[in-house]
Amino acid sequence: MMDSHFRGTLWTTLILLTLPHLTCNMPCPGGCLCKSNEVLCVGDTITDIPKQMSDHTYTLRLDRTNMNIINEQSLANKKLLLRFSLTRSRLHTIHPRAFHVAPQLKSVKLSSNDLSAFPARVFSPLTTLEELYLDRNQLENIAPDMFEGLVGLLKLDLSYNRVSSLASHVFYGLTNLTFLNLGRNSIKKLPPTIFHDLTNLGMLMIYNNELEVLEAGIFDELVNLVVLKIHQNQITSLPPQVFWSLRNLENLTLSSNKLQTIPEKSFYNMPKLIQLTIYKNPLLSLPDQLMGHMPDMTVFYLYYTNLTTVPGNVFANMSGLQKLNFNLNIKLRELPSDLFCCLPNLEQLSLESNDLHYLHPQLFSRLTTLGKLFLNDNKLQSLSDKIFQGLEQVFSVNLTNNSLKNLPGDIFLSNTVLSILTLSGNPWNCVCSISGIAKWIRHNEHVVLDRDDVICHSPTYQQLRTVGSLRDEELFCDGTTFRTFFSPPMPMKPFHTSEQTSAVASTTAMPTPRPATIQLATQQVTIQTNTPTAKPPALHTTIPPTTLQSPTTTLPNQEFLLITETPLSPTFHDTLVVERGPEFVHHNRLKGSVYVWFLPSDAALTGLLMFCHILLVAAGLFLILAAMFCMYRLNKTMDRLKVEFEHPPG
């Protein structure tokens, strides 16, 4: 009966479609817009579904209305209506038989209302319904039989509600469903068989919920799933092989969960994957075998984790990767040397804001297509001269904000297309050894974008100079600056500031156990110890001048001293006193050594310079006085001439 009637209306529909002009003179309800077979009613004045409208309305859309209720007869006499939407209208009640009068509906959209509950099986008459949008309401409980009978349903949207749990058979029978959105609810747990009938499902959204676990086997029947979004939950662990049936999956989002580890081989059997997000998880480690072949993955992000390192092959199966963002992992200290072995298409690599202290010289050697490399905001202290070898296409390198004191002069030798380089925010140590890179910067000024901020951090007498402005002769490469160092086997304590050191130096009168004096060339350096007198004082003399890398022969008149600070070690002194010492210039610590620099001070030269200075000042003063005197004389003469001119004698 029903069927033949329905078929009849379909025929009418077809005939009317081919003869559209016949429908033109139908009335359009007040407050609405009518356009061919569509009626759109917007505004507060709408309080019920319009009764008077064309019989041939297929689409009825009501938006921002004043409607709170759909009555038993609201949808009556609309035999051809296929799409009905009532949105943003504070709708809170639906009559239990509201849809009995319109079983032909294909799409029902009730988004953004105040619905908190539905009468039992209210949608069940809609056996041909294809789309049901119930998103952005106040739904808390979904009855287990709520979608019963909706065998033709293709799309179901329940997002932005307050659902906290779902019955295991709530989606049973929805075998044609292709899209299911459960996102932005408060779901804590999902039954393991809840999706088992959804064999045609292509998209499943469960993001922004409160899921803590995923049950084993929950996705097992979803062989057609293309998109699975489960980010922004509280998931702490994944069952092994939970994604293994998803052989058609292209997008999988797991970011912003609580995962500390991921089971071995979790991402195997997903050869079509193009997006995988696992960032923003407190990951502590990753298993040795994790990623199966995923050649279509072009972009991968792995940031905001607690990883300290990763297995060397973690990216090895992502052969199509073009962009890899492996950044903001604040505990990531080291990278395996073969980590980027197998990324023949990589164009952009971001390692910024990690905790990297060291990079293996071969780390990037196979990234022949890399264009952009971000290494900024790490703790890199030095780089091998080989590190960028092989990066033939790199045009942008960011080394900003590291702990670099120096770089090998030929480090960018093979990067012929390099055009953007930033080096600021590093404590450049402007001594002789920096001359190579200083020269390179000078010759490649246009490449170093922040060259004016690439500033010497030490030694003191070079501070605030830009590295690129340093000439070899200013770097004392002829040996006038030198360093001495010890490598104490102990961890270092914070070093005295130079003020402290000079304070000690000024109190040489304090009880000192036999200061030892080491005669070095013509100057004298006194080194003494603070250690309790119980310690054998013989220590003072155990530092033979030969342990100092002191070019004493080339520095006949230089003063220098050495500093050690190993309070626990009997081998070293912890206080250093300078008598008649040179001007203290700077110290620095690097890899357990303490470096001390002194400005070479030559008394004779200083005297000469001072003499010249005084001479110049005196000459200047004399010239000024002479000029003033001349002016005075000239003025006098002029006055006299003027007087003579105005009152000629006689």
Ligand X SMILES: *[C@@H]1O[C@H](CO)[C@@H](O)[C@H](O)[C@H]1NC(C)=O
Residues that bind ligand X (CB under 6 A): 151-152, 176, 227, 250-251, 260, 268, 274-275, 282, 289, 291-293, 299, 306, 313, 316-317, 376-377, 396, 398, 400-401, 420, 422, 425, 449
Tokens 């102990």 -> residue: 490
Tell the smallest beta-carbon distance from residue 183 to ligand X (Å).
Answer: 12
Tell the smallest beta-carbon distance from residue 109 to ligand X (Å).
Answer: 19
Long-range contacts of 439-445, Cβ-Cβ distance < 8 Å, separation of 24 or more: 439/409, 439/472, 440/409, 440/410, 440/411, 440/412, 441/467, 441/468, 442/468, 442/469, 444/412, 444/418
Tell the smallest beta-carbon distance from residue 291 to ligand X (Å).
Answer: 5
Q: How many angstroms separate the Cα of 432 from the Cα of each of 408, 531, 551, 569?
A: 12, 36, 15, 32
Tell the smallest beta-carbon distance from residue 306 to ligand X (Å).
Answer: 4
Tokens of 74: 């609201």
| Smaller CB separation from ligand X, 339 or 576 | 339
| Smaller CB separation from ligand X, 174 or 543 | 174
| Smaller CB separation from ligand X, 281 or 566 | 281
Tell the smallest beta-carbon distance from residue 179 to ligand X (Å).
Answer: 10
| Smaller CB separation from ligand X, 181 or 512 | 181
Tell the smallest beta-carbon distance from residue 106 to ligand X (Å).
Answer: 11
Tell the smallest beta-carbon distance from residue 40 to ligand X (Å).
Answer: 29
| Smaller CB separation from ligand X, 147 or 485 | 147
Chain Cα centroid distance, residue 298: 18
| Smaller CB separation from ligand X, 91 or 198 | 198
Q: How many angstroms separate the Cα of 106 from the Cα of each of 109, 133, 180, 348, 532?
A: 10, 12, 17, 47, 93
Task: Indicate the burial class of 288 (C-beta count within 10 angstroms; 0-12, 13-18, 19 or more).
Answer: exposed
Tell the smallest beta-carbon distance from residue 316 to ligand X (Å).
Answer: 4
Tell the smallest beta-carbon distance from residue 200 to ligand X (Å).
Answer: 7
Task: Indicate the burial class of 176 (C-beta count within 10 angstroms; 0-12, 13-18, 19 or more).
Answer: middle
Rounded distance between C-alpha atoms, residue 528 and residue 499, angstroms: 18
Tell the smallest beta-carbon distance from residue 313 to ligand X (Å).
Answer: 3
| Smaller CB separation from ligand X, 70 or 394 | 394
Residue 413: name the closest of 443, 434, 433, 435 by CA.
443
Which residue in the shown chain puts its C-beta closest to ligand X? 292
Rounded distance between C-alpha atoms, residue 580 and residue 398, angstroms: 46
Tell the smallest beta-carbon distance from residue 412 to ligand X (Å).
Answer: 15
261 near 288, Cβ under 8 Å? Answer: no
Rounded distance between C-alpha atoms, residue 480 and residue 63, angstroms: 84
Q: Which value, in Å, is the radius of gyration of the alpha carbons in the chain?
A: 41
183 near 136, Cβ under 8 Å? Answer: no
Pairing of β 275-277 and β 83-87: unpaired
309 near 336, Cβ under 8 Å? Answer: yes
67 near 48, Cβ under 8 Å? Answer: yes
| Smaller CB separation from ligand X, 229 or 587 | 229
Tell the smallest beta-carbon distance from residue 123 to ligand X (Å).
Answer: 15
DSSP count for the chain of H helices, then E strands: 4, 26
| Smaller CB separation from ligand X, 396 or 566 | 396
| Smaller CB separation from ligand X, 75 or 373 | 373
Question: What letter does residue 5 receive in the DSSP assignment?
Answer: H
Q: Is 204 helix (H, G, I), strand (E, B) or coil?
A: strand
| Smaller CB separation from ligand X, 53 or 132 | 132
Sort residue 413 into left (φ over 0), alpha (ψ -120 to 50) or beta: alpha
| Smaller CB separation from ligand X, 164 or 306 | 306
Buried/exposed code over 114-149 (b: 16+ C-beta within 10 A; e: otherwise): ebeebeeebbbbbeebbbbbbbbbebeebeeebbbe
